[in-house]
Structure 1
Amino acid sequence: MAIPLLAYAPSCPNHRVDPLGARDDEAIIYSTDDLFSPTEIGNLIQAAYRQIFFHAFRWDREIVLESQLRNRQITVRDFIRGLLLSNTFIDSFYNKNSNYRFVEHCIQKVLGRKVYSNAEKIAWSAVVMTKGVKGFVDELLNSDEYIENFGENTVPYQRRRILPSRAVGEIPFNITSPRYDAYHRNQLGFPQPIWQESVRNFRSYDRQPKTGDPTLFLSMAESISPKGGKPNYKSISDIDIEKTVPYRRR
């Protein structure tokens, strides 16, 4: 039997106030409400991949969902749901993390903010435990917070990057939150030291040799080992003069 979502409260007043004014480092909002050209829709799809996957390789892309979104058969919220339930996201974030860590990732990516407290992680982890990943994703996308901030046609983005009385906004979640937590990174042996035997020297572009420079052929010249031919010394006594000296025959 599924239990209702447990109650939790924001941890500080900054979570309850909207950012003041527009700033240069404010998030770029992608929405199908004002995007019509194929290029603009492509940028929106790329923004959705960056928000959910951080980076999508060619084999990670959901071609069917992309086609449905381009043809307006599904909304942006449906596209985000498809990415969250894709094999790539499940294998990368759910199978390799605890429920608490998975909830933290999803709240950051879907609701665009940090987790308020451990109480919120426990509340949503109970939903994952009782309703599974699909039920958790549905509740997250159907929540009042998601509908009020992103609705049906806006790609989720990191909110509250700019806080009052702070010169620099919050660091993006993709940088501050690695895919695996400390326990799983330790199990995988990360971080791994990298030993580089050869020392590389940096040369500025203006000091690099151009086409035709003799230094470019230095390695080729050093690989060649020319050897002169030995002279053929022969004694006069070994020469048969009658046979070797030509003469005219009659």
Structure 2
Amino acid sequence: MRILVIEDDARTASYLVRGLGESGHVVDASAEGRDGLAMALEGIYDALIVDRCLPGMDGLSLVRQLRREGMQTPVLMLSALASTQQRVEGLEAGCDDYLAKPYAFVEVLARLEGLLRPRDQQPGKASTLCVGELCLDSAARQVTWMGRTISLAHRETLILEKLMKHCGEVVTRLMLLESAWDYEFDPNDNVIDKHIYRLRRKLDDGFGISLIATIPGAGYCLNVSTNLSEAPAR
């Protein structure tokens, strides 16, 4: 998942960015309300963590503006203001959850997983994504395909997750970069191609066809409905 942390306290922001990164997420951060709003409006984030008291634009105003713009990205608000009325104000502004400071990081992570879990998904399965017989456990960084369990590297996991969420659709190289690297990364021309190559070697080993097709001039497309009946035996 790609998460945006909008927090003006440098120590708190560093704590969240480090913890989320170690948990397998791609994380960007902003220390100012208006800058954070502009980044959020890019529409590339799976979730936002927003401090209530921000310079430039406060967190409540930021979330209200996001919702006016039609953005439905899940928002977890963090605040030292923790009265019932203040929590209600956050929820009424459009936040999906409200967590009072001080907090433990494990609770932040649990709240995020709750926001990101599909409504029909069982608790404890938030990290598992399945498309047909292809199942990805992003927390364990493992994919199960045609009876095999395959270990993936961190970036491979994020790229495959993006492809699976858009199965059957063209996913551009820019979309893959946004899903697996933060703003500070300076990509070279073939970094995506190298990761796709490694993914194909792991997923296609023993089969005569590839799950991930290259769409010339556009990007890549995952197709798990491909007929494997003529593939060689493993």
Counting helix residues as a fraction of each chain, which structure ranks higher?
Answer: 1
Rg comparison, structure with higher value: 1
TM superposition score normalised by structure 2? 0.25
Counting strand residues as a fraction of each chain, which structure ranks higher?
Answer: 2
Bigger relative CO (Cα 8 Å, ≥ 6 apart): 1
